Amino acid sequence: MIDWCYSTASRCCHCDQRACFPDERTADRFVTKSERRLVSFACPVGNGWHVIYPAVELKASVPRR
């Protein structure tokens, strides 16, 4: 088994340079280690799996009034 490191994972040019993980199981390991603060999702263009931190990333995408 390969031990994946977030900082050295390949990056997805279609998804804002997010780290690419080869499968859902690998991405979910990061979700578990983060105590479920991260969320995994399949890359929309088929480059594997990504993780996001919705508490920060989704808040930043909400327009300010």
Cα 49 → chain centroid: 7
Coil vs helix vs strand at 40: strand
46 part of a folded domain: yes
What is the reported pLDDT for 1?
42
Of 51 and 60, the structure prediction assigns the larger pLDDT to: 51
Coil vs helix vs strand at 36: coil
Residue 4 is encoded by which pair of tokens?
């994946």
32 part of a folded domain: yes
User: What's the whole-model pTM score?
Assistant: 0.78
31 part of a folded domain: yes
pLDDT digits (tens, 9 = 90+) for 7-29: 888 999 998 899 999 999 999 99
- The number of distinct structural domains making up the chain is 1
DSSP 2-44: ----GGGS-EETTTTTEE-BSSHHHHHHHHHHTTT-SEEEE-T
Residue 55 is encoded by which pair of tokens?
């508490």
22 part of a folded domain: yes
